[in-house]
A and B are shown apart, each in its own frame.
Chain A
Amino acid sequence: MDAAPAPDAIHRYSFPAADCSRIPYGMYRDAEIYALEQDRIFRGPVWNYLALDCELPNTGDFRVVAVGDTPVIVNRARDGSVHAMVNRCAHRGAIVQRAIHGNVRKHVCCYHQWSYELTGKLTGIPFRRGVEGVGGLPPDFDMAQHGLQKLRVEVLCGVIFGSFSPDAPPLEDFLDAPFVAQINRLFHKPPVVLGYQRQRVFGNWKLYTDNLRDPNHGGLLHMFQITFGIARLSGRGGATLDRDGKHNMSWAAQGARPEGETPDAGAGYGDTGRGDMDIRLRDPSMLRYHKEYPDDLSLTVASIFPNCAFQQIGNTLAVRQIRTKSADEFEIVSTYFGYADDDAAMRRHRLRKANLAGPAGLVSMEDGEAVELVHRAILRDRDEHSVVEFGGRGPVTDQPNLVTDVPMRGFWIYYCKLMGIPAGQALS
Chain B
Amino acid sequence: MNSHLALELHMRLTLLFEEYARLLDEDRLEEWTDLFVEECVYEIVSRENVQQNLPLSLMLCDNKNMIRDRISALREANIYNIHADCHIIGPVRGIVGEAGYEATAAYSLFQSTQEGETRLFSVGRYHAHIIERGGQLRFTRQRVVVDTGAILTLLATPI
Docked-complex contact B56 and A224, CB < 8 angstroms = no
B59 neighbours in A (Cβ, 8 Å): 355, 360
Asked whether any CB of chain B lies closer than 8 Å to the CB of A372, the reply is: yes
A277 neighbours in B (Cβ, 8 Å): 76
Complexed CA–CA distance, A200 and B46 (Å): 14
Docked-complex contact A365 and B154, CB < 8 angstroms = yes
B7 neighbours in A (Cβ, 8 Å): none
Q: How large is the interface on B (under 10, 10 to 19, 20 to 34, 35 or more residues)?
A: 35 or more
Which residues in chain A, 354-368, are within 8 Å of chain B measured between CB atoms? Answer: 354-355, 358-360, 362, 365-368
Docked-complex contact B54 and A197, CB < 8 angstroms = no
Docked-complex contact A360 and B151, CB < 8 angstroms = yes
Complexed CA–CA distance, A123 and B73 (Å): 56
Indicate with 1 or 0, residue by residue over B46-60, a CB within 8 angstroms of chain A CB atoms. Answer: 101100101111111
Asked whether any CB of chain B lies closer than 8 Å to the CB of A419, the reply is: no
Asked whether any CB of chain A lies closer than 8 Å to the CB of B65, the reply is: yes
Asked whether any CB of chain B lies closer than 8 Å to the CB of A398, the reply is: no
**Interface of A: prevailing SS:** mixed
Q: What number of A residues sit within 8 Å (CB to CB) of B?
A: 41
Report the minimal beta-carbon distance from A122 to chain B, rounded to whole angstroms: 30
Docked-complex contact A198 and B150, CB < 8 angstroms = yes
Max chain A CB contacts within 10 Å: which of B59, B63, B78? B78
A379 neighbours in B (Cβ, 8 Å): none
Select from chain A the residue with minimum beta-carbon distance to B70: A362
Docked-complex contact A200 and B150, CB < 8 angstroms = yes
Select from chain A the residue with minimum beta-carbon distance to B48: A196
A366 partner, pick from B78, B149, B155, beta carbons under 8 A: B78
Complexed CA–CA distance, A193 and B79 (Å): 29
Indicate with 1 or 0, residue by residue over A193-226, a CB within 8 angstroms of chain B CB atoms. Answer: 1111111111000000000000000000101101
Docked-complex contact B77 and A223, CB < 8 angstroms = yes
Given the known interface contacts A198-B149, A200-B150, A227-B76, the answer about A359 and B155 at a Cβ–Cβ threshold of 8 Å is yes
B155 partner, pick from A196, A202, A360, beta carbons under 8 A: A360
Docked-complex contact B49 and A362, CB < 8 angstroms = no
Docked-complex contact B60 and A365, CB < 8 angstroms = no
Complexed CA–CA distance, A355 and B74 (Å): 13
B residues near A, CB below 8 A? 44, 46, 48-49, 52, 54-63, 65-66, 68-70, 72-73, 76-81, 149-156
